[in-house]
């Protein structure tokens, strides 16, 4: 029977579906795979279902003839897998697009509201027992209605965020992407990222991870933003130059930030955690049971199609 290795625990419904089809081994730990664990999985299993943080680099994938023929990634982002090296080693790579779109867009809106309305500060005030009651100038934040949201990357997730902003909050939408988009809502495409940064009240990052977007949001972009503007990142942590962001937040160069991802996660710098004008979430962008179930089932369907000799529905 086909042997499949699942790198971390997944929802019960996903594991049940996988066990119905394959001889499955589920690694009980929740941390990323070590180099030795990755090589063992590639050597001993026909397919591997990796997750975020399982760094299948060229160093891991090269230099041997592996039993594994498919990496069925759990997640839409796959910058932790060197796809070129995997293909050179005779492996197919798949992912789970679509399932994560709405959940990730909802998380972006959560961060936008929490950051703009200073909700994190307010909750800390109440929990500390130091709230002295309502008064007219307490924790004055920024109202999102009528403001301009700038979206970096207008793919599935970027468009889902834009729709929520435009139809739900009456915001103006601007964006920067590699090509013009045909959209079902009004939006202005900006010629450059700096133009976009300078024109928005909230800048939302919705680009894939990888070498092309590493430190895309740097000191120059942050300096171009208005001093009241907020930055929101639901993409990948290393898209933002974290040291430059900390400086911008400390010096009042921007008004605030909302982060679900971090450059060196799970490490979050003390300097970032000490700031009041940033909302910090523990990478919960898709952390809804229904979403994680669908992601897992998409991974299983990719495996099922591949081992049946068909083209997986979600080839990278």
Active site residues: 236, 265, 283
SS3 164: helix
Angle between helices 156-163 and 101-116 (to 10 degrees): 50
SS3 195: helix
Tokens of 34: 């070590």
Residue 250 to residues 139, 210, 274: CA-CA distances in angstroms? 18, 28, 10
Q: Which of 103, 297, 85 is nearest to 68 (CA)?
A: 85
Residue length of the chain: 316
CA–CA distance, 278 with 230 (Å, rounded to integer):
9
User: How does strand 230-233 pair with strand 23-26?
Assistant: unpaired
CA–CA distance, 13 with 179 (Å, rounded to integer):
39
The CA-to-CA distance between both ends of the chain, in Å, stands at 26
**Measured over all CA atoms, what is the biggest interatomic distance in the chain, rounded to whole angstroms?**
68
CA–CA distance, 222 with 247 (Å, rounded to integer):
10
Q: Using alpha carbons only, what angle is made at residue 293 by residues 287 and 295, rounded to the nearest 5 degrees?
A: 80
Q: What order do you get walking across the sheet with 230-233 strand by strand?
A: 188-189, 172-176, 148-152, 202-205, 230-233, 256-259, 278-280
Q: Which of 233, 261, 253 is nearest to 80 (CA)?
A: 261
SS3 94: strand
């Amino acid at each position: 029977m086909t042997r499949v290795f699942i790198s971390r625990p997944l929802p019960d419904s996903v594991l049940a579906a996988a066990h119905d089809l394959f001889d499955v081994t589920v690694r009980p730990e929740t941390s990323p795979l070590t180099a030795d664990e990755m090589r063992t999985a590639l050597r001993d299993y026909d397919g591997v279902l990796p997750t975020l943080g399982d760094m299948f680099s060229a160093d891991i994938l090269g230099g041997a003839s592996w039993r594994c023929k498919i990496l069925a990634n759990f997640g839409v982002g796959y910058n932790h897998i060197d796809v070129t090296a995997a293909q050179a080693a005779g492996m197919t790579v798949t992912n789970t697009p679509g399932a994560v779109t709405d959940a990730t867009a909802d998380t972006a809106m959560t961060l936008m509201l929490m950051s703009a309305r200073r909700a994190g500060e307010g909750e800390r005030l109440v929990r500390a027992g130091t709230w002295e009651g309502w008064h007219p100038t307490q924790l004055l934040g920024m109202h999102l209605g009528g403001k301009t949201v700038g979206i970096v990357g207008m793919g599935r997730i970027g468009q889902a965020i834009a729709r929520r902003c435009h139809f739900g909050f009456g915001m103006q939408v601007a964006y920067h992407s590699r090509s013009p988009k045909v959209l079902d809502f009004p939006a202005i495409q900006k010629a450059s990222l700096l133009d976009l940064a300078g024109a928005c009240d909230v800048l939302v990052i919705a680009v894939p991870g990888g070498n092309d977007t590493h430190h895309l949001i740097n000191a120059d972009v942050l300096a171009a933003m208005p001093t009241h503007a907020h930055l929101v990142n639901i993409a990948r942590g290393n898209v933002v130059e974290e040291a430059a962001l900390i400086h911008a937040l400390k010096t009042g160069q921007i008004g605030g930030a909302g982060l679900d991802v971090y450059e060196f996660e799970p490490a979050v710098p003390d300097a970032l955690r000490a700031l009041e004008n940033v909302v910090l979430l523990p990478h919960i962008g898709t952390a809804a049971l229904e979403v994680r179930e669908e992601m897992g089932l998409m991974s299983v369907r990719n495996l099922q199609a591949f081992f049946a000799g068909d083209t997986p529905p979600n080839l990278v």
